[in-house]
Amino acid sequence: MARQILALALSVLLAVLPVVQAEPPATPWRVLATELPPLALEKGSDAPGALIELVREMAHRSGQDIRVEYLPWTRAQAMTQSGTHTLILPLTRTPERETRYRWLVPLYTRHIVFFVLGSRGADSLSVESLRKRRIGVLRSTPGLGQLRERGFTQILEIESNDKMARMLKLGMLDALYGDERINRYSLQKNGLGAAGLKVFPPQQTDVLWLGGSKDISDAEIALWQDALAQIRRDKTLDRILGKYHLKD
């Protein structure tokens, strides 16, 4: 009888106690990028690229998981603006974009330059003389607006740096405008080394950021900022950028 009473009491106790469940794993961050070697690339000997490697290291330091996806740049921006728990890189911070994203951490400082082929009377060319020439810029980047503000009229938006390099080589463009190191990488890949190019002095300098969807909280941003501070202190940041020849 005593055993029956004890069993009944135990069953009642178990019925009223709350069920304790293990917490589900945190949802991985969705990281959207576009092919932009040597900063981000899905395949090849230089994969994953400097900024993907950097973000992975920050995620590791802060105990977070990420899932990287490569998309066309215009689509990646649209999905970040309409999505949740989503990060995007590399993103230039401009007044037009300021309220469309959360801005987590700066990743990389770049120099914006013009490239022309050295075999086309490049020594006599000036920035002023390029205003009426065919200039290639990467699609959905601030370069288009920058050139328009300066009076350039024949601007072609191209979907990739690799295609811009081929178009310059074939004479379909008179100049490229964009990140010095990224374009050097693409030009060299297409057989255009330093000896065959004229590079104008930097026209401006800006910073590429890790951006994110609007739902990201200040506390979440602080995790990424703390992780970046760690890898700056222990020189991991310098090591990663140096590995891809991106360190000044």
Q: How many domains does the chain have?
A: 2
Element spanning 181, H or E: helix 180-189
pLDDT of 14 reads: 42
In a domain, 58, yes or no: yes
Kind plus residue range of the DSSP H or E element containing 14: helix 2-16
Domain that holds residue 80: 29-108+207-243
Alpha carbons 57 and 43: distance in angstroms, whole number: 19
Residue 56, helix vs strand vs coil:
helix
211 with 97, same domain: the answer is yes
Which CA distances in Å does 37 have to 46, 91, 182, 189, 236?
A: 8, 14, 6, 11, 20
Instruction: For residue 208, give Cα distances in angstroms to 12, 30, 101.
Output: 60, 18, 13
- What residue type is 114 in one-letter code? F
Q: Is 4 a member of any domain?
A: no
Predicted TM-score (pTM) of the model is 0.78
- What is the CATH classification number for the domain harbouring 131? 3.40.190.10
Residue 167 in domain: yes
Quote the DSSP letter at residue 43. S
Query: Domain for residue 47, yes or no?
Result: yes
State the DSSP H helix or E strand holding residue 192, giving kind and residue range, or none if neither: none
Q: Average pLDDT, whole number, for the chain?
A: 87
Tens digit of each residue's pLDDT, the chain (248 residues): 444 544 444 454 444 444 443 333 478 999 999 988 899 988 877 789 999 999 999 999 999 999 999 999 999 999 999 999 999 999 999 999 999 999 999 999 999 999 999 865 666 678 888 998 999 999 888 889 999 999 999 999 998 889 999 999 999 999 999 999 889 988 988 888 888 899 999 999 999 999 999 999 999 999 999 999 999 999 999 999 999 888 76
Q: Same domain, yes or no, for 119 and 95?
A: no
Residue 57 burial (CB count, 10 A): 18
User: Do 164 and 138 touch, CB atoms closer than 8 A?
Assistant: yes
Strands (DSSP E) found in the chain: 29-33, 66-70, 86-92, 102-117, 134-138, 154-158, 175-179, 197-199, 204-212
